[in-house]
Amino acid sequence: MKRVGVDHKIAEANGYEVRVDSNGVEYAVKKGAITPLNEVPGECGSSFVYFTAVDTSKHYTSIYTGYTIRSDWPGAVYTNWAVGVIDNYGSSTKTWNDPSTPTHFWAKTKGFTSSGPGWAYADVFLGSIATLSNGTICYSHGPSASAYL
């Protein structure tokens, strides 16, 4: 079977709302549900964050984040990036400040260990930027992710 769309009336009648992902594809979720958006497009390109549980017995996860600059734009020469993590035990920030040769793709990984079991959420801060070789500053639209640790 292949998914071809969402019937809005049936979704609404059964307590669902229809949303659209970053690729323009409709999907249904329970009303009020939080659904992270791992990749968010923008004028310069797109930014992303993925939060993957690595060892749930130790409450450890991996944060993979970055961006892609449009191929018809100049590459980035500097990145100032931050991902905030919130769980039941507090919050922390993971940062990157990277000069580079002009690049159209930048990605980094850092680990995160929670103090105990539960859901954790990661968001790229809206102030995260990539500075292009022509001086243009591109900022992230704040993708987010979650994992149970």
Query: Is the whole-model pTM more than 0.85?
Result: no
Q: Report the pLDDT value the prediction gives residue 18, as an integer from 0 to 100.
A: 78
Q: What is the mean pLDDT of residues 54-68?
A: 87
Q: Could you please report the per-residue DSSP string of 94-149? A: EEEEEEEEEESEEEEEEEEE-SSSSEEEEEE-TT-EEEETTS-EEE----EEEEE-
Q: Report the pLDDT value the prediction gives residue 2, as an integer from 0 to 100.
A: 57
Residues 89-116 have pLDDT tens digits of 889 999 999 998 899 999 999 988 888 8
